[in-house]
Structure 1
């Protein structure tokens, strides 16, 4: 039988399947009245089973999200002068929620995120889902995944694939930047990074992948660890190298794992009389506003922060409206773009 011959599913069918009034179904689907979480969940599940949610979502007329619970590690709450990445990402997420009429409730806790506190906080405000930013602690992810609440990890790594994830393609983006440098004659490249989450480790992987792809000795690509990701950490790390007898050990380019580190590296190089890009090329990663303000302007890898915010909400929508709780978790990786400015040149 052709699918066009199948009877169309309507709001009456959802009402009958969920055992509620037509008006209740309408309020749930359009977000026009306060409905108890239990009834709302029953209506959405019935509509999802019948395929009605998918049809409504395709037409852009479904309001399956009314409240999200936002959990951000305390150390990543943005201080604008040093953490433009977090500020830009969270601002994009907040604005997208405002555009969709979705209420955002921010989690407040201690020095570290606690799964039980997040779950209790989300339930207390009748949140439809949780957006967890950055924190990819496996124990935390397992606990949240088993809570029965839809969870999306934004800009983090989940090797166990226990929750939906939205992240930039860190490994591919770092490989892109390194291949760009190699194609311009650089061979001895220093990768300045820090001991961060899995997302930062993927950037190291991509850096080394580029050497392997070109069948170049991997030891030409040196990895240098800074104490942290702030500009001061990048400045201290490069200044320490420059004070050594062999300095940068012949490196003609420094590829930094964040724009913050690149800003610090530029300051250290300038203080020691090393010209950029005449003596050494500098490339950053993140693509936040600092790249336009440095001297010289910073070549960097731009992360699509606005699109990540939109897709995090869309992932929650999909989980609630289309997939349901038993669908395998999805991982969405977004491509990044190299932005060429004056801090880099060919040799």
Structure 2
């Protein structure tokens, strides 16, 4: 019987997992390919014996060797309109390179990529986990959850709470930004959005929350929809509003659900001879770098894109090392901050 006062070592783990000491060393340090079932057995034994907790405190365990990165195809071509996804993916890629984690990319929305295909590719590649970006179709999440492969959804919502997820605090951030606009004297505010995924709808919810919290009538909270998030669609949407209302229609601020929309709005307003922020204030959401160079510079809600990927990796690690405990899914929201620039003026 092992003396409980003695520190657990890899020999104890090897005995508990019924493997060689060298196998334990390879699993814990990521120095050689080990089959998934043996690796899981070793990690479960190490976790049960309390070894993992001690190693994690010293940041001395390599639990992740490879991940399947499932992304929509529109995030792959690098252009000025997908800076949100590219900034997120760049930070994730840098962190994986730093930690020698192999990334296997997959376009998840291709016609050949059925929901089961994602799981099939992950199993064939023997990855340690799956990272999903922007892709939160319920049927896909259900398939991944049923596979028991550790997975984390980035920038999406699993309404059934079957897999771990990390996302910006969209609703709270939108409420904060709208509340700030109200504090600047604005009462008739447009929220320009589009019929996007639930993460975008949360921004609309937060916008309306702020009006309710301030006791303001919702008939001055104008939700106006564009056909999508591209700048030209934002420009078209605001031009339609101007035509229908013979001008701004009394609104003093426009809170856009994405910086891309704000860029289009600013272009359209400039063409119409409407001054910013003298005639109307503009606020965006995302915090992509291009907002610094607009005229006037764009006030925006800055999302912590640099932190989302590393946070997802941490959640994936926790899921792997605690597999034996089968913990409930975690939903982690990251705080956003308001970056105030020159596109908003105080009124009243």
Pairwise same-fold verdict (TM > 0.5):
yes
Matching of residue 106 in structure 1 with residue 109 in structure 2: no
1:338 counterpart residue number: 338
Change beyond 3 A, Cα 1:78–1:216: farther
Change beyond 3 A, Cα 1:311–1:82: same
1:282 counterpart residue number: 282
Structure 2 residue runs of 5 or longer lacking an equivalent are none
Q: Aligned partners of 2:282, 2:329: CA distance in 1, in Å?
A: 38
Aligned to 1:215, what secondary structure does the other structure show?
A: coil
1:40 counterpart residue number: 39
Structure 1 residue runs of 5 or longer lacking an equivalent are none
Residues 72, 107 of structure 2: 8 Å contact kept: no
1:207 counterpart residue number: 207
1:155 counterpart residue number: 155
- 1:246: how far off? 3.3
Give TM-score scaled by structure 1 length. 0.96
Aligned to 2:322, what secondary structure does the other structure show?
A: helix
Residues 44, 322 of structure 2: 8 Å contact kept: no
Residues 78, 87 of structure 1: 8 Å contact kept: no
Q: Aligned partners of 1:214, 1:23: CA distance in 2, in Å?
A: 63
Matching of residue 59 in structure 1 with residue 65 in structure 2: no
Deviations 1:271-320 (A, max 9, x none): 00000000000000000111112111100000001111110000001001
Deviations 1:52-89 (A, max 9, x none): 21221121001000000000122343442211101111
Residues 281, 343 of structure 2: 8 Å contact kept: yes
Give TM-score scaled by structure 2 length. 0.95
Q: Point out the more displaced range, 94-103 or 6-15.
A: 6-15
1:240 counterpart residue number: 240
Change beyond 3 A, Cα 1:205–1:100: same
2:182 counterpart residue number: 182
Change beyond 3 A, Cα 1:324–1:291: farther
Alignment of 1:88-237 (within 5 A): 88-108=87-107, 110-111=110-111, 113-237=113-237
Q: Aligned partners of 2:114, 2:251: CA distance in 1, in Å?
A: 43
Change beyond 3 A, Cα 1:199–1:39: same
1:20 counterpart residue number: 19
2:253 counterpart residue number: 253
Q: Aligned partners of 1:246, 1:106: CA distance in 2, in Å?
A: 49
Residues 190, 223 of structure 2: 8 Å contact kept: yes
Q: How many pairs does the alignment contain?
A: 343
Residues 74, 112 of structure 1: 8 Å contact kept: no
Q: Aligned partners of 1:82, 1:52: CA distance in 2, in Å?
A: 46
